[in-house]
Structure 1
Amino acid sequence: MNIQTPSKAIPQATDSEIRIAQNKVIDRLSANPAVAVTTNALTAHVGDGLTCAVQQGKFRTVMDLGPAMGGAARGPGPGFIAKAGIAGCIAIGVKMAAAREGIEIQSADLRLETVSDDLAIFGLGDNRAAPRETRISLDVRSGAPDLVIEALVANVLECSPWFLALRDPQNVTVTTTVNNLNRSGSS
């Protein structure tokens, strides 16, 4: 796979530094498992047009759709961001686990493909809007034996939150509040 890597200007942690950092977190969470259950929240706002600003803590991104869908292409679409989250979770998870286990991995390249019916996002046709199929292929460059890498990847997939969110059903709740601008402020 021909994937561009992030700029080398930001120093990257060594496998040893990654292992040390993870072991500190594992030790802290193991000593107090109650702190391991976390709730993360982000906010999204769409005003004029289709550009959507999303923020979680200090991190912010912008999503949009292209002109063919009425957007201004000010950022990648939500589908890109969702698939990027899954791909990154798996690829980074493989590198993290390898570093923690002392398995040298030069690189992990991942390709994620989804097959969808685009009519369904408009409520047209008989199909659901969810992807019909997702295919993931992972290319790991390592001197370790194939069976070691295959077992590592299998373990990572069972611990990868966003892969599991894709694969497994979960409880999802939605609450909608309508602030009707046509209603007067008095009763």
Structure 2
Amino acid sequence: MSDLTPNHTAGEPLEAIDKDKLASLRQKNIDNPEGGKKVIKTHTEADGHFRNYTQVRDLKPVLVSEPPALLGDDSAPNPTEIAQAGLAACISVGIQAIATHRGVTLTKIDIDIESNIDVSPVWGVGDLNDEKRPGVSDVQVNVDVDGDADRETLEKIVDDAIQWSPVVNTYTRPANLTHKLV
């Protein structure tokens, strides 16, 4: 058992998702694709010193901050790290769903992500020019998956999870973003 995953014992099958409920959800969205379109809402409030609390559904608020090198107090992951964690989690969910759908039992999903970011524009108060690209530019995703299938099958599961991940698609085909002062 890992400190990171206290509910999973290495080499044992991951706790399964309900295959029948997955099939039902799949069919519901095939029969009514418009029903799968949802609105995701969050609310964020600044707490000072670059600490921000975000409310998601009725869950405990999520703290997002900055490290000391970026003038924060190191109390939580920064926004880019949270985005990267969301990316990894979305890929992991896809891998588990696809494996379940295909009858593959997984014993391990480990995802490591490294990305390059240019923070030199300093949130718009530094020097800005056309060569500076705020945000991540290159993202490397390394997936380590084990289960009761051969490598080719596992690779296809991972490839399909990457292709259909909503967060991967947000990174690779950015959403239209609008804003307004209210």
TM value normalised by structure 2: 0.83
Counterpart of 1:154?
A: 159
Instruction: Name segments (4+ residues, structure 1) moved above 4 Å.
Output: none
Q: How far apart, in 1, do the equivalents of 2:4 and 2:48 lie?
A: 34
SS of equivalent to 1:93: helix
SS of equivalent to 1:132: strand
Is 1:29 matched up with 2:25? no
Is 1:93 matched up with 2:97? no
Higher alpha-carbon deviation: 145-154 or 122-131: 122-131
Deviations 1:59-98 (A, max 9, x none): 2201111333332222211111110000111122111210
Long gaps (5+) in structure 1: 178-187
Q: How far apart, in 2, do the equivalents of 1:143 and 1:26 lie?
A: 23
Q: How does 1:55-94 map to 2 (within 5 A)?
A: 55-59=55-59, 60-94=61-95
SS of equivalent to 2:127: coil
Deviations 1:137-170 (A, max 9, x none): 1111123122211221121112100011111233
Change (3 A) 1:169 1:8: closer
* 1:130 Cα offset (Å): 2.0
Q: How far apart, in 2, do the equivalents of 1:109 and 1:174 lie?
A: 36
Q: CA RMSD in A?
A: 2.3
Change (3 A) 1:13 1:149: closer
Is 1:7 matched up with 2:6? yes
Aligned positions, number: 172
Counterpart of 1:40?
A: 40
Q: How far apart, in 2, do the equivalents of 1:55 and 1:141 lie?
A: 35
Report percent identity of matched pairs: 19
Which of the two has greater strand per residue? 2
Counterpart of 2:177?
A: 172
Q: How far apart, in 2, do the equivalents of 1:63 and 1:170 lie?
A: 22
